[in-house]
Amino acid sequence: MRTGFTTGACATAAAKGATIALVEQRPVREVTIHLPIGRDARFELVRCELDAERCRCGVVKDAGDDPDVTHGAEIQATVWWEPEPGVHLRGGAGVGVVTRPGLGLEVGGPAINPVPRRMIVEAVSEAAGDRLAARGLAVEIAVPGGDEIAKKTLNGRLGIVGGISILGTTGIVKPWSTASWRASVEQAIDVAAANGQRHVILSTGGRSEKFAMRLFPEVDEIAFVEMGIFTGHALRRCVARGIERATLAGMIGKYAKLAQGHFQTHVAGNQVDVGFLAELAAASGAPEALQAEIRAANTARHVQELALAAGLTGFFQALADRVAERSHAYVHGRLAVEAILFDFEGNVLGRGARGG
């Protein structure tokens, strides 16, 4: 199936094109950007509106064969000079505004995630060169119709209002049907077992896999499996293929679900139960005021921030212990299970084990 590009990659291309056009005072029709996965990609600009003061460029998002709601949307970047040196990123029409904590973004700021922010700033800085030493560039990202597109997402529930989020950690959108995704997870476990691996590391996503690789440098790369939402399928496959030990690597959002026995953790399938997390916090010694804050939290990440601020480290250990216990019971004790809970920078918050 055909891959596509993230909104973050499209925004970066539009911003780079607008910067080149403004600096060189000439229309730009295409640009090449560097993606986080380590390769370059070329983008056609569908608009380049230029005058002496500013430039607006646009890229139409191509999501490949993925059924992405933003496929076909135009991601625009308008660039203009400002007195203060540096690159100043802003959100325009159709880009959501963050209204609640727990998303890892500033409340009141645009819903442009950290990796796209870095990509945009780096691309604009490269295109502007030493001109940024004397003055700065404002970069406004906009998505015409983004407010309507956002109604098809969970942004409103997360406290992102007025538009879509600018997302992406790799720059690439990989099209996966649920069946093919599950099959790829099972196949990866099959390959690990066939190559003599008796210990596999099952991660809930790309970041947690990267963190686990740092934690287990001695483990062969073939033993790392990005299981995504299919924890239950992955655990059963490990048992079926004679794997003796599985290490789960994840962060609080997925672990909040696994700890309750939800072994397919897609966001649409079951929401984070902050009431459950508040009960776990209470059992870990949280005062009533903190319990109330957790019950009112917007996201699992927000719960993490609250617990860390309160110094409630036992909460994270309890969560990891519960995930290990539930996972071990899920396969009727036929697999030793370790659960490692990471924060968003790769630090270990909790580590529990059952069996073995």
DSSP characters over 134-157: TSEEEEEEE-TTHHHHHTTSSHHH
Is the model more confident about 155 or about 13?
13
- If asked whether residues 202 and 76 sit together in one domain, one would say no
pLDDT in tens, 281-335: 999 999 999 999 999 999 999 999 999 999 999 999 999 999 999 999 999 999 9
Q: Residues 212, 340: contact at Cβ < 8 Å?
A: yes
Closest CA to 140 of 119, 162, 112, 182: 112
Among the three residues 137, 157, 173, which one is the final residue of a domain in this structure?
A: 173
Enumerate residues 6+ apart whose C-beta is below 8 A from 289.
none
- If asked whether residues 224 and 133 sit together in one domain, one would say no
Tokens of 10: 């499209």
d(CA 239, CA 246): 10
Measured at the CA of 103, the angle between CA 178 and CA 307, to 5 degrees, comes to 110
Which pLDDT value is given to residue 180?
58
DSSP class of residue 107 equals: T
- If asked whether residues 335 and 212 sit together in one domain, one would say yes
Q: Residues 173, 64: contact at Cβ < 8 Å?
A: yes
- If asked whether residues 166 and 206 sit together in one domain, one would say no
Phi then psi for residue 21, to 5 deg, are: -65, -40
Closest CA to 241 of 192, 290, 282, 305: 192
- If asked whether residues 198 and 143 sit together in one domain, one would say no
- If asked whether residues 146 and 226 sit together in one domain, one would say no
- If asked whether residues 128 and 241 sit together in one domain, one would say no
- If asked whether residues 207 and 275 sit together in one domain, one would say yes
Q: Which pTM value belongs to this model?
A: 0.71
- What is the enclosing helix (H) or strand (E) of 333? none
Which pLDDT value is given to residue 154?
77
Among the three residues 124, 153, 173, which one is the final residue of a domain in this structure?
A: 173
Instruction: Determine the average pLDDT of the residues in 59-87.
Output: 92
- If asked whether residues 149 and 239 sit together in one domain, one would say no
Ramachandran quadrant class, 196 (left: phi over 0; alpha: psi -120 to 50; beta: rest): left
Which residue is listed with tokens 């963190």? 211
d(CA 185, CA 177): 12
What CATH code is carried by the domain that includes residue 156? Answer: 3.30.2110.10
Which pLDDT value is given to residue 127?
96
Number of domains forming the structure of the chain: 2
For 154-215, the DSSP string reads SHHHHTEESEE-B--SSSEEPP--HHHHHHHHHHHHHHHHHTT--EEEEESSHHHHHHHHHH
pLDDT in tens, 234-266: 999 999 999 999 999 999 999 999 999 988 655
Is the model more confident about 50 or about 181?
50
Range of the domain at 230: 178-354
Which residue is listed with tokens 């403004």? 22
Compute CA 269 distance to the chain's CA centroid, rounded to the nearest angstrom. 18
Q: Residues 326, 261: contact at Cβ < 8 Å?
A: yes
Q: How confident is the model at residue 187 (pLDDT cuts 50, 70, 90)?
A: confident
- If asked whether residues 306 and 238 sit together in one domain, one would say yes
- If asked whether residues 25 and 153 sit together in one domain, one would say yes
Enumerate residues 6+ apart whose C-beta is below 8 A from 318.
280, 283, 284, 350
Tokens of 273: 């139960």
Enumerate residues 6+ apart whose C-beta is below 8 A from 183.
none
Q: How confident is the model at residue 174 (pLDDT cuts 50, 70, 90)?
A: confident
- If asked whether residues 59 and 72 sit together in one domain, one would say yes
Among the three residues 153, 173, 193, which one is the final residue of a domain in this structure?
A: 173
